[in-house]
């Protein structure tokens, strides 16, 4: 019964070989398609980075140059000028994200674990603020900021970015909290854990990855934000997006310089997003279907 006849042995290998060949052919097809699509989507970014290394003379040519002698000259200029912008962006991004987390975690808790009576209404209220376009209030916002002496300060950005990201953060962290197994909470309650202990020892460990991915998304949106920055700041709180705009002069060649500025401005968030890819994917899709 288990004796494999001499005729069967090669039959076994050939059938197995045939199966594997078929699998491989299919895989190859998808591989080609996948890479073509991936490169197509990535091409503009790639081109941006390549152009950043060009001297201006090689940047605005026809046909576009793929070989040239790379130079760091553009980057040098960018690094020279971006100091304050970088500082402002960093403070605004990190500051607003911390503020968001401080507000969102307890709020999510109140909407998920020991829920408030009208939790549905609460959640809906937060989400509704996102649906109202911020652009509608920009004029009055300017005036308010002016009168409150917050215009062109880093604070106005921190405050507004936090408000901008808060609804999404609450929604996402709440859905992560709902993942905490009920049994764990009940066991903790039986052990006499009060609210604070419950949060720190039971909930946070489970929810930390979700909080991290929420923080990442807030960082992405805050760092990249232009509209509020351009309207409410001038020099004292100008952020990286505005630095980028400033590298488009009225006249003269600027494409390589612009590419360098764009690269430097985008790179932090791109790297962060790449590293935390899984977390990001989980956050984006999780935050939702619950």
Partner 1 sequence: MTIIDDLVKPPATGIRPRGVSRREGWQRRLPLLPALIYTIVVTQIPFVVTLWYSFQNYFWNQPGGAHWTGVANYKEVFTDPSFRNAIVKSVTMTAIAVIVAMLLGVALAVMLDKKFFGRGLVRTLLITPFLVMPAAAALVWAGPMLDPNFGLVNYLLEPFGVHHVAWLSTHAYGSVVLVMIWQWTPFMTLIVLAGLQGQASDVLEAAKVDGAGAWATFRELTLPHLRPYIELGILLGSIYLVNAFDQVRLMTNGGPGTETTTLPFFLYQKVNYAFDVGGAAAAGVVTVVLTIIVASFALRMFARVFQFEEAR
Partner 2 sequence: MAGVNYMAASRVYAKGAPPAVDALDLDIKDGEFMVLVGPSGSGKTTALRMLAGLEPLDGGRIEIAGRDVSDVQPKDRDIAMVFQNYALYPSKTVAENMGFALKMQHVPKDERDRRVREAARILNLDESMLSRKPKQLSGGQRQRVAMGRAIVREPKVFLMDEPLSNLDAKLRVQTRSQIAELQRRLGITTVYVTHDQVEAMTMGHRVAVLSDGKLQQCASPRELYDNPVNQFVAGFIGSPAMNLQTAPLTDGGATLAGTVIPLAAPVRAAAARDQLSEIVLGIRPEHLHLAAEGRYPDTAGQDGAGLADLTGEVLLVEELGADALLHVRLAGGDPVVARAEGRKPPGPGTRVTFRVDPADVFAFHPVTGARLAG
Asked if 4 touches partner 2 (CB under 8 A), the answer is: yes
In the bound complex, what is the minimum distance in angstroms from residue 200's beta carbon to partner 1?
Answer: 13
- Round to whole Å and give the CA distance between 161 and 269: 16
Part of the chain binding partner 1 (CB under 8 A), chosen from 2-10, 76-84, 115-123, 206-214:
115-123
Radius of gyration of the chain, Cα coordinates, nearest whole angstrom: 26
Which span (1-9, 27-35, 72-80, 140-148) binds partner 2, by CB under 8 A?
1-9
User: Applying CB under 8 A, does 149 fall inside the site for partner 2?
Assistant: no
Contacts to partner 1 from residues 63-102, by CB under 8 A: 63-64, 102
Q: Which residues contact 254 (CB under 8 A, 6 or more apart)?
A: 56, 247, 248
24 vs 72, beta carbon nearer partner 1: 24
User: Could you tell me which stretch among 5-13, 32-40, 135-143, 205-213 binds partner 2 (CB under 8 A)?
Assistant: 5-13
Residue closer to partner 1 (CB basis): 6 or 132: 132
Query: Does residue 11 touch partner 2 according to CB under 8 A?
Result: yes
Window 139-178: contact mask with partner 1 (x via CB under 8 A): xxxxxx--------------xx-xx--xx--x-------x
Distance between CA atoms of 237 and 93, rounded to whole angstroms? Answer: 12
4 binds, among partner 2, partner 1, none (CB under 5 to 8 A by kind): partner 2
Per CB under 8 A, 1 contacts partner 2: yes
Stretch that binds partner 2, among 7-15, 38-46, 132-140, 276-284 (CB under 8 A): 7-15
* Listed residue (252, 6, 290) closest to 175, CA to CA: 290
How many Cα neighbours within 13 Å face the side chain of 288? 6
DSSP states of 25-85: HHHHHHHHHHHHHHHHHHHHHHHHHHHHTS-HHHHS-SSPPSS----SHHHHHHHHHHHHH
Local structure of 1: helix, strand or coil: coil
How would you label 195-212 residue by residue, b for 16+ Cβ within 10 Å and e otherwise? eeebbeebbeeebeebbe
HSE, side-chain direction, 13 A CA sphere, residue 21: 6
* Between 9 and 148, CB nearer to partner 1: 148
Q: Would you count residue 8 as binding partner 2 (CB under 8 A)?
A: yes
Interface of this chain with partner 2, residues 12 to 41, rule: CB under 8 A: 12-13, 15-16, 19
Residues at the interface with partner 2 (CB under 8 A): 1-5, 8, 11-13, 15-16, 19
């Amino acid at each position: 019964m288990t004796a494999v006849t001499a005729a069967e042995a090669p039959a076994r290998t050939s059938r197995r070989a045939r199966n594997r060949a078929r699998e491989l052919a299919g895989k190859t097809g998808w591989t080609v398609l996948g890479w073509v699509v991936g490169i197509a989507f990535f091409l503009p970014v790639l081109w941006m980075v390549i152009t950043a290394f060009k001297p201006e003379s090689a940047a605005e040519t026809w046909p576009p140059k793929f070989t040239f002698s790379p130079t760091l000259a553009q980057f040098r200029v960018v690094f020279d000028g971006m100091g304050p912008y970088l500082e402002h962006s960093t403070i605004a991004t990190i500051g607003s994200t911390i503020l968001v987390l401080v507000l969102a975690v307890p709020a999510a808790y109140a909407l998920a674990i020991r829920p408030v009576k009208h939790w549905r209404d609460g959640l809906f209220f937060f989400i509704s603020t996102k649906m109202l376009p911020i652009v509608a209030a920009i004029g009055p916002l300017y005036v308010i900021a002016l009168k409150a002496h917050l215009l062109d300060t880093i604070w106005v950005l921190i405050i507004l970015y936090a408000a901008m990201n808060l609804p999404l953060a609450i929604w996402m962290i709440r859905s992560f909290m709902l993942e905490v197994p009920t049994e764990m909470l009940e066991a903790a309650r039986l052990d006499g854990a009060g609210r604070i202990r419950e949060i720190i020892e039971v909930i946070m460990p489970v929810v930390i990855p979700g909080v991290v991915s929420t923080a990442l998304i807030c960082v992405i949106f805050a760092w990249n934000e232009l509209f509020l920055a351009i309207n409410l700041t001038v020099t004292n709180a100008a952020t990286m997006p505005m630095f980028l705009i400033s590298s488009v002069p009225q006249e003269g060649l600027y494409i390589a310089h612009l590419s360098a500025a764009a690269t430097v401005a985008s790179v932090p968030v791109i790297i962060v997003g790449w590293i935390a890819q899984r977390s990001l994917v989980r956050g984006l899709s999780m935050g939702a279907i619950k």
